A and B are shown apart, each in its own frame.
Chain A
Amino acid sequence: MEPQLDYRVEVTDKDGRVIAREEGPSRSYVRQWNELFHVQAAQIYLGGGGTVKDTSGSTCADARISTVTFKSNAGIGETNYGLRVGKGSTPVSINDYAIGNPIAEGTGIDQLEHQLTYFTGPSVVGSTLSFTMQRSMVNHSGATISGIQEIGNYMMFSCGMYTRFALGFRDVLASSFSIPDGGAITVTYTLKVTA
């Protein structure tokens, strides 16, 4: 069986009531996911020529093995890595390197307060092993934020002596979501594999 990636998006109002929901199979890991696997599997060292484009669009030509490759457990307010949402609707391409139109951290217009990206541990049910990652983003901007249509995950990696961030997977949602003031959007990805 192939590995699977599924997503679920829920929007809640200021009272915590679910007002919109979407779930389905993820369309897309993107190339950085495999390129970072390769860096680890082939043990590409400093100066080894590993090439990975970061979320700014800059190509790192010295991606290397690291303890932080794939790190995604972002803290509160951290938007360099962890789950993100955006307003872009461009179809996913293998060459995507960032969320098309990401929502920034904050309480200003069209900004969201990013909570932790946290994980549930791996569990086996029958012949499937899975774990989940989840993040809520709260709207304290004073107005509805509309047009949320894309989700994805940014991951840390090491480029030479520096820390960089790369897009691992991205999905364009079937529906456009609006988050009322005081409400929140919660994104959950389930990573699983079945033998």
Chain B
Amino acid sequence: MRNRAGLWYSVTIRDRHGKVISRERRKSRSMLGNWYRILYGMMITGCTSMVHTSGNSWGTCYLQDNWDFRGDADMDYKSIVIGTGTTAVSIDDYKLATQIMQGTGSGQMRHLASTPGWPSIVGPNCSFLTSRTFLNNSGGSITVRESGIYCRCKGPTYYGYACIVRDVFGTPQAIPDGGSITIDYTLGITA
């Protein structure tokens, strides 16, 4: 029997009163190639090619910052991110198709802080959860269709950020003005 390793995500939508109005929970389709490119660099304490979220082919090398996906409040270039794109996931995706940026303007959402929780062991499972909430104070409804994780990384010369996970939702999620969307990613293994 094959081991189980991978990502699961859940999406929770709340209205302006905090009431849950929609929820989606499923196995993540997509830990991307960039996750494994960073892993390769770490395992060999060397470098390999990789495209950063900037679109630059800056590569990735072993670095203590690698995989850092903590997110400060208002930060839209690292941690869990969301978007409106529907392009099918590809192994070489290097960013979301159409990212929703930080802010309160039209089509923007406020990004709250996020940090990975500690791993827990339950039976044959070891997992940890990363969660982030985005608030819609734009004055209108925003439909979210994709999410992902951007992490810190560095190539031979330049620091940057890598898209290591991207998922297109099974159901587009409309966030009413004053409402929020919370994305939970769980990285788990089962022996």
Give chain A's interface residues, CB within 8 Å of chain B.
1-5, 25-31, 33-35, 37-38, 40-43, 65-73, 92-96, 119, 121-122, 124, 127-131, 133, 155, 191-195
Give chain B's interface residues, CB within 8 Å of chain A.
1-6, 27, 29-33, 35-37, 39-40, 42-46, 48, 62-70, 89-93, 115-116, 118-119, 121, 123-128, 130, 151, 187-191
Q: How many A-B residue pairs have CB under 8 A?
A: 160
Question: Closest CB of chain B to A163's CB: distance in Å?
Answer: 12
Contact B89 A27 (CB under 8 A): no
Contact B89 A195 (CB under 8 A): yes
Contact B189 A29 (CB under 8 A): yes
| Given A26-B3, A94-B125, A195-B30, also A41-B91 (CB < 8 A) | no
CB neighbours (8 Å) of B64 from chain A are 40, 65-67, 69
Contact A129 B33 (CB under 8 A): yes
CB neighbours (8 Å) of B189 from chain A are 28-31, 33-34, 94
Question: Closest CB of chain B to A144's CB: distance in Å?
Answer: 31
20 new A-B contacts at CB < 8 Å, known A43-B68, A195-B30: A2-B31, A3-B35, A4-B2, A5-B3, A25-B1, A27-B191, A28-B191, A31-B191, A33-B126, A33-B189, A34-B188, A38-B119, A40-B67, A68-B45, A71-B62, A93-B191, A129-B91, A192-B36, A193-B91, A195-B29
Query: In the assembly, what is the distance between CA of A28 and CA of B115, in Å?
Result: 27
Contact B43 A70 (CB under 8 A): yes
Contact A1 B3 (CB under 8 A): no
Contact of A94 among B1, B68, B190 (CB under 8 A): B190
Contact B63 A67 (CB under 8 A): yes
CB neighbours (8 Å) of B39 from chain A are 70, 191
Contact A2 B5 (CB under 8 A): yes
Contact B3 A28 (CB under 8 A): yes
